[in-house]
Structure 1
Amino acid sequence: MSAKRKRDGGCRRILAAVESTEAKLERNGTTTFVMSLVFPAICLLFVPFLLYRRPTMELLQTLRVSTGIGSNGVEPSRDRLLGGLLSPEFDESSCLSRFQSALYRKGSHHLPSQHLVEKLRRYEALHKKCGPGTALYNKSIEQLKSNQSTGTMECNYLVWIPHYGIGNRVMSIVSGFLYALLNDKVLLVHVPDDMDDLLCEPFPGTTWAVPKDFPVKDFHKFDRDAPMRYGALLRDKVISNDMRSATNAALPAYVYLHLPWYNSEWDRLFYCGEAQQMVRRIPWLFFRTDEYFAPLLFLVDEYSEELQRLFPEKTTVFHHLVRYLFHPSNTVWGHVMRYYHAYLARADEIVGIQVRIFPLVPIPFETMLNQIMNCALNERILPRPLEFEEKPQSAPPRNGLKVKAVLVTNLNGSYHDRLRDMYYEYPLEARDEVVAVYQPSHEQAQHTDERGHNVKALAEMVLLSFSDVLVTTAKSTFGYVAQGLGGLRPWILLRKPEDGEPACVRAASTEACLHEPPKYDCKTGKRGVDMSAAVPFLRRCEDVADGLKLFD
């Protein structure tokens, strides 16, 4: 049975009493023995009153999960503050998803470190002190307008500029936030119209949105030809990484970091330790990227000790930070809840299948469909449909069917239709299972500049994160977001697997992949270096041949 169905009002009252009792017993060291007696009694007492809302086994499973006892003996974190990641200083009604999401997802077995929790609280205090509308922010704005560094400022800023689709935007914001944490900078995000009312504010008592009266207006001009681009300034010797001890008058008030996959060798020098020491002194940094560059920060010596304290498990960086930062607005959460309760809530298991076909690497429909089915059947993710029956199928027991809900996300409906028809037309090898196939939307083409499209895309990422088993497409940032939010190790559909290769492989962790890493070793000055061979905690990604991924 799935371990994440939402508790109704009656169950919520039961659980409150159970948790209160458990807390008292835990202090006396008698939790395990006594609760083993208490839970069955509570379940037997209240099941008759709640049967009209959910099956008995689903209720028992919900009760078991709420206690934190995992099916494998490990205690998953299912509390609404996510082990301390989230601040309790929020009004729940302002952002329903912030504290409700944990009720729908599998419990995470990765608790954040205490140092990360403390670091986040310190960052929130810094953001509240330096955020838009404060006296310190206004002072820094005057410096930005003059484009002259007037000395060390109490507040320094990192401004995010959107690039490409929602998945890429999430990747880049997570990376930027990690950089801000390491450098005591305040992260501000430019929210274009297509992202309006998409996400909740992640920091209490302040905002991360660039204000409407911000002196910089033409964010679209920050690209490879921007005059204040770090790589160009470095190439033209306007600035130098040796300026880390220069006078403030020699430094500009802002620099643009051009970090998409199509950046230059000069731009990539930003990831070197010497560059970090110089750039840190610039009050305003603007950046644009479509990459998850967090792994490269682990290569900077001065960050290594702090990163080890923040993330003792390196493979949890994306998982922790994406859950901390990204909470769908009430508008998006409404889409999620309506769909979930209409189609998925009664399923015993949810299988998410995320399909993305890239225009530059087209894959024929039948080829991709066969790959999906080979993966799903060979890895026992879905039951096998029989093409014909040798004898008439006997009726299954009325209360003995296990329902698998398959949630398909793709820009068109063809994969959903074929999977649905397959499981409708043919009987299953497993007689006690039924498969229901759903797809929330089929937009036909990506329209990142349209808010309505982005609302649906984010809602589907969140719905996929509710999966018990997740199948994703190689190199898809859409899939990365779902696996990070859900704490899931997905099965990845490989790009055009060769004969004899599996249709899919299991990801080693929930961590995302850096698709286009630099091949320059900052310490030796060598080019064409395979950084996956340089340190033990970086390896090649399962889905991108030249990509880099954090490993423990």
Structure 2
Amino acid sequence: MGSGGAAAAATAPQRKEKQRSAAGRWPEVEDGVAPAAAKRHVRRAWRCGVNVVLAAFVMVVPPMVILLDARGAGVPAVWISSVNVFRRGDGSILQWPAAAARDKLLGGLLADGLDEGSCHSRYQSAMYRRNAGREPSPHLVSKLRRHEELQRRCGPGTAAYSDAVERLRSGKSGGIVSPPEAECRYLVSISYRGIGNRILAAASAFLYAMLTDRVLLVDPSNEMDELFCEPFPGTTWLLPPGFPLANYTSFSVDTAESYGNMVKNKVIRTDAGDAAPTAQLPAFAYIHLDHTSTVEDKFFFCDEDQRAIRNIPWLVMRTDSYIVPGLFLVTGFQDELDMLFPETDTVFHHLGRYLFHPTNHVWGLVTRYYDAYLATAQQRVGIQVRVFGSQPESPKLLDQITTCTQKEKLLPEVIAAGGVASAAARRQSSKAVLVTSLKSWYYEKIKSMYWEHATATGEAVSVHQPSHEEYQRFGARSHDGKAWAEIYLLSLTDALVTSGWSTFGYVAQGLGGLTPWVMHKPANDTAAAADPPCRRDVSMEPCFHAPPFYDCRLKRGADTGKIVPHVRHCDDVQWGLKLVRRGE
């Protein structure tokens, strides 16, 4: 798939999708219901072994609780004890961390009490993760609850929101007059490009909104309501119809109201004390931070500019990147960021798991595929293939994938055709490989390799690809739904190999709490093969592809990868910025 919250889930049953072969297709079953094969192996395990299993376990382990979810919805049966295990239909046992099964609130990251039926994934996702993820800080948990209250107090449908919209429509607002914390201020995030970009942009906007006490409103374009559940209890994050800035989605680097242009044209001045007088401030400012942004646009990451922006009631932000590392350069934000994220390599991990929950239709795609093809494997390996250049079917890239996965012991080597692994090498273990790509060629080649050749370790390797759309279709409903499902499936793997530069991979690794092995993109189609073929990334954080190159304190160009110790350059995009763990 290419790179790239819904309101309540649909109440009518979703249309059954056409059943495809086990070579990697979405199983046919209604949303949220386990496939027939999964049902059979659960029933078989119950009929054939439950009495023996219970008797044996009572004798050898401490007391435990058996959790059988009668509601179905694709949730596997889970044994909860000091050692949490899942007994599959073939009798094998898979150990899970106990927290992954018990803590559906993710350490307090999620608010309790929401209707699970409207968004199954919100509280069920922990049941599918072997990696329980990092714990959020108490300060982050507290900040999220306060921000949820702000969204309810000032969001759509409130008197405060109606008043703010009317003032924007009249154009008479000259900025916040009373103390900013006493007013409702807003940040509108424009949704565009692929789903990976949209997710990273919304997460970035949300962090900025939390830091500056603004209500986040997401542009509903590109099926944002059909892909994601509402993240904030009791309100919506979607910008309602009738927004006065009717052409806001067409704002660009040339828009007169962009912050960069207003600074360049001295509509806004930052050299007159802590902030410009409110009477001189516009009713709104457009924050242009995509790949075409200018030096003046990137003054957004300077403290004096943030002081001026703070009093503007409405901001509209366009970015196609993960701007969070840039926010860590703003000295006025650093103390708060340190308290929110004492582990500085977990920002998107926490924000992503808080904000982005697949709607019930997409969650059905995830759980059906997981149950049919991934659930019974001892290890799951994700391979995300992003094809760049003019050779969509590249033997060089295929060799890079196989060399990487075998060199790093993620997948076993194979022996010559006709060869058989020795009895000593045969192991009763299995690996499921999940390949995501716009093309099916890579999946077919990897699958054929493990079908036609025995593995040197004797491991059984199955290879799966949910879909292959051939090319990216921006804004296409079915395409984006499958892309989001595949990102989520990648995040459920145990080890992950990604393509450099790809926001698709960035989102998967962050949601899963996985530090990936990254295959670097060659300089061009004729460049030599990458050596090494892949490299373990320095953190699971996404890369900011279009950062500022300006030292706000010295008022000159600078290497911003050397200003803050935990903001460094990315391995895959050398000029990009990436958060790493503090002290490393």
Q: Quick one: structure 1 residues 131 and 290, their matched pair in 2 at CA, closer, same or farther if it must change by over 3 Å? A: same
Relative contact order (alpha carbons < 8 A, sep ≥ 6): 1 or 2 greater? 2
Deviations 1:217-238 (A, max 9, x none): 2233211122211111111111
Q: Offset of 1:387 from its aligned partner?
A: 2.3
Contact 1:470-1:490 at 8 Å conserved across structures: yes
Instruction: Give the secondary structure class of the aligned counterpart of 2:206.
Output: helix
Contact 1:318-1:511 at 8 Å conserved across structures: yes
Which residues in structure 2 correspond to 1:111-150 (within 5 Å)?
Answer: 111-149=135-173
From 432, 438, 455, the counterpart of 2:464: 438
Which residues in structure 2 correspond to 1:17-416 (within 5 Å)?
Answer: 37-38=61-62, 54-58=89-93, 61-62=95-96, 65-66=97-98, 68=99, 79-149=103-173, 151-152=177-178, 154-242=183-271, 244-359=274-389, 365-389=394-418, 401-416=428-443
Q: Offset of 1:39 from its aligned partner?
A: 5.2
Amino acid paired to 1:102 = A
State the distance in 2 between where 1:117 and 1:239 align.
36
Amino acid paired to 1:108 = A
Q: Offset of 1:240 from its aligned partner?
A: 1.4
1:484 aligns with 2:510: yes
Contact 2:229-2:357 at 8 Å conserved across structures: yes
The number of aligned residues is 507
Q: Offset of 1:310 from its aligned partner?
A: 0.5
State the distance in 2 between where 1:395 and 1:169 align.
50
Segments of structure 2 that go 5 or more residues without pairing to the other structure are: 1-37, 46-57, 68-77, 80-84
State the distance in 2 between where 1:41 and 1:455 align.
36
State the distance in 1 between where 2:66 and 2:158 align.
52
1:464 aligns with 2:493: no
Instruction: Give the secondary structure class of the aligned counterpart of 1:86.
Output: coil
Q: Quick one: structure 1 residues 310 and 238, their matched pair in 2 at CA, closer, same or farther if it must change by over 3 Å? A: same
Instruction: Give the secondary structure class of the aligned counterpart of 2:345.
Output: helix
Contact 1:386-1:428 at 8 Å conserved across structures: yes
Contact 1:257-1:267 at 8 Å conserved across structures: yes
Instruction: Give the secondary structure class of the aligned counterpart of 2:467.
Output: coil
State the distance in 1 between where 2:251 and 2:354 align.
28
Q: Offset of 1:193 from its aligned partner?
A: 4.7
State the distance in 2 between where 1:171 and 1:185 align.
18
Instruction: Give the secondary structure class of the aligned counterpart of 1:285.
Output: strand
Return 138-147 or 106-115, whichever deviates more.
Answer: 106-115
Deviations 1:463-517 (A, max 9, x none): 0001011000001000010001110011101122866821001112211111121
Q: For residue 16 of structure 2, what is the aligned residue in structure 1? A: none
Instruction: Give the secondary structure class of the aligned counterpart of 1:242.
Output: coil
State the distance in 2 between where 1:392 and 1:537 align.
47
Deviations 1:59-90 (A, max 9, x none): 5x24xx22x4xxxxxxx796100100000031
Q: Offset of 1:426 from its aligned partner?
A: 1.0
State the distance in 2 between where 1:77 and 1:277 align.
44
1:418 aligns with 2:445: yes
Instruction: Give the secondary structure class of the aligned counterpart of 2:304.
Output: helix
Segments of structure 1 that go 5 or more residues without pairing to the other structure are: 12-33, 69-75
Contact 2:225-2:238 at 8 Å conserved across structures: no
State the distance in 1 between where 2:229 and 2:43 align.
25
Instruction: Give the secondary structure class of the aligned counterpart of 2:114.
Output: coil
Identity of matched residues, %:
47
Contact 2:87-2:93 at 8 Å conserved across structures: no
State the distance in 2 between where 1:515 and 1:188 align.
24
1:550 aligns with 2:555: no
Question: Which structure: greater helix fraction?
Answer: 1
Deviations 1:287-306 (A, max 9, x none): 00011111111111111111
Contact 2:516-2:537 at 8 Å conserved across structures: yes
Deviations 1:89-138 (A, max 9, x none): 31111100001111111333521100000000000000000110100000
Q: Offset of 1:395 from its aligned partner?
A: 12
Instruction: Give the secondary structure class of the aligned counterpart of 1:127.
Output: helix
